[in-house]
Amino acid sequence: MCGRFTSRKPEKIKIDGVHLSDLEGAKPRYNIAPSQQILSVIQTGDGRHALYLTWGLIPSWSKEGNGIINARSETLLEKPSFRDSFKRRRCLIPADGFFEWKKEGKTKQPYYFQMKDESVFSFAGIWDTWKNDGKEIISCAIITTTPNTTLSQVHNRMPVILHSGDFDTWLNNEVKTDELSDLLRPFPDEYMKGYPVSTNVNSPSVDNSQLVEPL
């Protein structure tokens, strides 16, 4: 799964069709957690837009309003919670690193993963709009897949990371879902690195640069 991630340098986010003015309010984040507002890019009939979505997908038909933070790539078309969003409402979620936890005895050791050049990338996401009693929540989930070699030493899942050349395909609602399977694979291992970090990341209230420093 993917339960925490970072956006340390939002000023370096570059996605065609998204104006820097749309990123107003973006600030460095070192411990982005579920239920928080996260920067996302969607594409509608009038172009691309950067906006803040609630992390935790709430299907439009949900009665309870409970959010789901991750969607397994293998079951996107099987799960009613994800099927319609995968077909019609895909998004990019910019990031520059993420955390996973490795079980070590009775404890869990957090690890931080990023690109070897520490560049910004984007997760593949889906989104939906939920309305109830006059309340509206636009929410999203990060899609996960099987891990590459670097991740497999720590966890059995990893977020789907898209190559920048695939952004247009992912956001284009005219593209059929059966044409997207090649995008939902583990990101090439040779571009990534990971290392153990402080357990302070376990607390969503802690958000500082020390969280991504190697132990």
CA separation for the pair 54, 57 (Å, rounded): 8
SS3 122: strand
Sign of the torsion formed by the C-alpha atoms of 170, 183, 126 and 4: negative
Q: What pairs with residue 100 in β-bridges?
A: 111
- DSSP H helices, the chain, are 80-88, 149-152, 167-171
Active-site option among 24, 91, 100, 213? 100
Measured torsion, CA atoms of residues 80, 157, 177, 14, in degrees rounded to the nearest 10? 120
100 is catalytic: yes
Question: Which strand (E) or helix (H) includes residue 46?
Answer: none
Please give the helix or strand (H or E) that residue 67 lies within, else none: none
User: Nearest 5°: phi and psi at 203?
Assistant: -100, 115
To the query of whether residue 2 is one of the catalytic residues in this protein, the response is yes
Sheet with 107-115, strands from edge to edge, namely: 29-32, 4-7, 97-104, 107-115, 192-196
For the annotated catalytic residues, the residue numbers are 2, 100
